Amino acid sequence: MREANHFGHARALPKWYWTGETRMNCMREAIGQTLAHGYAHHIQRLMITGMFGLIAGLDPKQVADWYLAIYVDAVEWVELPNVAGMALYADGGRFTTKPYAASGAYVSRMSNYCVRCRYDPSRRSGAGACPVTTLYWYFLDCNERELAAQPRTALMVRNLARLSAAERGAIRRHARSLLADLEAL
């Protein structure tokens, strides 16, 4: 499982994972709390810091090493299956039935992070667009065929298919610009 990398993700972990110094409020809060206490709730780990690793295409090994280093309750036999298997889907679904990807709209619905963020969770591209939202749609775009074949993710892909070609193009361009400089987020 430590070698698992279903999507072939290889991007380096942004330095702000170790400092919390990012303008994305959800990540700043979840990482800041982690740095202060060595602890975060399971959903913060799965749907904020872990999910960002998935949709930003971060190297699963680097993400797993971060969890192992940063949480007081991290021991590898529990941490690695949760990170590589559940949060990153790096094992290709050996014990989870879908990748846990969601947009900023999900984060907005489930938390109060977005009200204090400089980004807009409802915007997919352009100035002020939420990086989580942009990268979520880009993740669907990049993995459309695989996700369409899974009952639990097929609906997400059908929503993607409803977007115009112009909007999909704008998402791709914006996502690629974000991925080219994750440190700046």
Spatial distance between the Cα atoms of 50 and 5, rounded to a whole number of angstroms: 14
Size of interface with ligand SF4, in residues (CB under 6 A):
14
User: Of the listed pieces 78-86, 89-97, 107-115, 158-166, which binds ligand SF4 according to CB under 6 A?
Assistant: 107-115
Between residue 113 and residue 132, which ones bind ligand SF4 under the rule CB under 6 A?
113-114, 117, 119, 121, 130-132
CB atoms within 10 A of CB 165: 7
Q: CB-hemisphere CA count at 13 Å for 124?
A: 18
Q: Which of 108, 125, 134, 153 binds ligand SF4 (CB under 6 A)?
A: 108
Kindly tell me which of 9 and 28 has the beta carbon lying closer to ligand SF4: 28
DSSP per residue, 160-181:
HHTS-HHHHHHHHHHHHHHHTT
Residue pair 121/132 in contact (Cβ under 8 Å)? The answer is yes
Residue 42 backbone class (left: φ over 0; alpha: ψ -120 to 50; beta: rest): alpha
Kindly tell me which of 134 and 153 has the beta carbon lying closer to ligand SF4: 134
25 binds ligand SF4 (CB under 6 A): yes
Residue 129's beta-bridge partner residues? 120
Kindly tell me which of 85 and 121 has the beta carbon lying closer to ligand SF4: 121
Between residue 129 and residue 168, which ones bind ligand SF4 under the rule CB under 6 A?
130-132
Residue 139 CB, nearest distance to ligand SF4 (Å)? 14
Buried-state track 9-42, b at ≥16 Cβ within 10 A, e below 16: beeebbebbeebebebbbbbbbbbebeeeeebee
Site string for ligand SF4, 58-97 (x = CB under 6 A): ----------------------------------------
User: Of the listed pieces 12-20, 33-41, 100-108, 154-162, which binds ligand SF4 according to CB under 6 A?
Assistant: 100-108
Report the interface residues with ligand SF4, using CB under 6 A.
24-26, 104, 107-108, 113-114, 117, 119, 121, 130-132
